[in-house]
Structure 1
């Protein structure tokens, strides 16, 4: 059985009208959070909103902010704990910030029937995709052992890695590593690492050389970090099996793909 909220146009990413925010916060027992700069955004998946057997609906708590020079630091899903977004409204662009743990849950049947989403302010499709992937990244994102991260960061800082990868990101789907052992190790122990670069098909030799130069830099950094580096491959997603890819974890540089509209890695694009 479908819930009335579906017929009223409620989907993931819909925004609550200002006149309804206070009442919904009260239903969630969070009336103390009400302020003029607060808005509520549907965080539940659209299918969950529509399904009557899913009894609750979840909302992200967002706040209007000014767009200052630091605003972009939290765009494009760069940070799993905070997201800055641009919304389109009849009065022009509006800017909001969200914190991952700031959410409320409400029993759907407690919401007054017929309440409608705010159509005067909305996500663009790209910004909605950032928001949905940001919600998912809170629970699912590639994670190497902390000691592995510490060692490679000491040899090649993450900001410098991002800068290097950004030069080839339009042809690069992701850089992956198979790490053994996949756990924390003591100072006197070493990791064994295989590298894999996943690229778009039909690249020119010059483009492949540029990508291979990046994987060579990764290899050099790993060796400098006293790791044992084995096989290094550059392949398209059609040249590697799902079974093989599952043995690897991806260096998380998603914001480059979002920012530049570059190809997304399989764990995102296949959702």
Structure 2
């Protein structure tokens, strides 16, 4: 078993040799995959936890902004610093989670000390892992109305994804506030009142991020008003506000009131790829 003094931490990367020794990748695999520890730091040395949880990720050439900041509940792009060499970018999928007996892990696992996962990336990893089981379910009636077909036989949610795609690099999150209707299944003819907040990265993105978020907020309002009508003249969804807010201005009180709308996919082709998955309630 791993002792209390174990150097292993959540987010650590195994060497390619030890990943092969643990049969987590094929015997000829050298650079195609990266194996990341996802067990909580406290679970790694705990005697009641017999396994170490890992995810076998795919090494890719370029990070997709739409798959950063835990925007997508099923896929995540992580960037590992690699000394003076180019960064290592790994795509994680929940379906590639595996367990390794701690006794075997202690014998074979070796940490890749040449790589480093920054503090920001570690926080994103934790958020992404938590979101899988902590996502809220929006009312079925609300989700059905977001699937309303509008122009060119596209749904409202498809249009939302389409306008978010080019500005994904600037956005931290998209929040929906349904107020007291948050868990209500409203009858036909009774509209949901929604307020939307686009949170942008004010530190890294600066003025360009603010401008992109404000422009997108105006486009979102237009989508809702064109699809459902203006407040006071709709029976489906009434958009009361839609604003861009800097990530430094969001308070804990704000986060406890709203739900994050994570999109199942942001890169869309000519055909719809499936339904959106709204997940990731911010814990109180």
Superposed pair shares fold, TM > 0.5: yes
1:193 maps onto 2:192 in alignment: yes
Residue 227 of structure 1: which of 236, 255, 259 is its match?
Answer: 236
Conserved 8 A contact 2:12-2:36: yes
Answer whether contact 2:52 2:102 (CA < 8 A) is retained: yes
What's the secondary structure of 1:60's corresponding residue?
strand
1:133 shift after superposition: 1.7
Deviation at 1:132, TM superposition (A): 2.2
Q: Count how many residue pairs are aligned between Structure 1 and Structure 2.
A: 237
Deviation at 1:73? 4.0
Counterpart for residue 78 of structure 1 = 71
Cα 1:220/1:108, change in 2 over 3 Å: same
CA contact (8 A) 1:10 1:49 kept: yes
Deviations 1:222-256, CA, capped at 9 Å, x for gaps = 7337415497699x7577795xx3xx644347xxx
Equivalent in the alignment of 1:45: 40
Task: Provide the rounded CA distance (Å) in 2 between the counterparts of 1:109 and 1:127.
Answer: 29
Q: 1:149 aligns with which of 127, 146, 150?
A: 146
Structure-2 change in CA distance of 1:49 and 1:221 (3 Å)? farther
- Structure 1 residue 147: deviation in Å? 0.8
CA contact (8 A) 1:190 1:228 kept: no
Query: Which of 15, 18, 24 lines up with 2:16 in the alignment?
Result: 18
Tell me which residue corresponds to 1:158. 160
Matched, 1:126 2:120: yes
Would you say the 8 A contact 1:143–1:249 is kept in 2? Answer: no
Unaligned runs of 5+ in 1: 201-209, 254-265
Kept after mapping to 1: 8 A contact 2:195/2:239: no
After TM superposition, give the deviation of residue 104 of structure 1 in Å: 1.0
Residues 160/82 of structure 1: CA separation in 2 closer, same or farther (3 Å cut): closer
Name stretches of at least 5 consecutive residues in structure 2 with no aligned partner.
Answer: 200-213, 244-249, 264-279
1:56 paired residue number: 51
SS of equivalent residue, structure 1 residue 135: helix
CA distance in 1, matches of 2:19, 2:38: 15
Q: Say whether the 8 Å CA contact 1:155–1:221 is kept in structure 2.
A: no
Q: Once structures 1 and 2 are overlaid, which stretch shifts more, 9-18 or 223-232?
A: 223-232
Match 1:98 to one of 92, 102, 108: 92
Relative to structure 1, the CA distance from residue 155 to residue 101 in structure 2 (aligned partners, 3 Å threshold; closer, same or farther) is: closer
- Deviation of residue 58 (structure 1)? 0.5
Residue matched to 2:111: 117
Q: 1:180, 1:191 within 8 Å by CA — same for their partners in 2? A: no
**Matched residue, 2:177:** 176
1:121-143 per-residue CA deviation (whole Å, 9 max, x = no partner) reads: 12122222222222222223344
RMSD between superposed Cα atoms in Å: 4.5
State the alpha-carbon separation in 2 of the partners of residues 18 and 7 from structure 1. 24
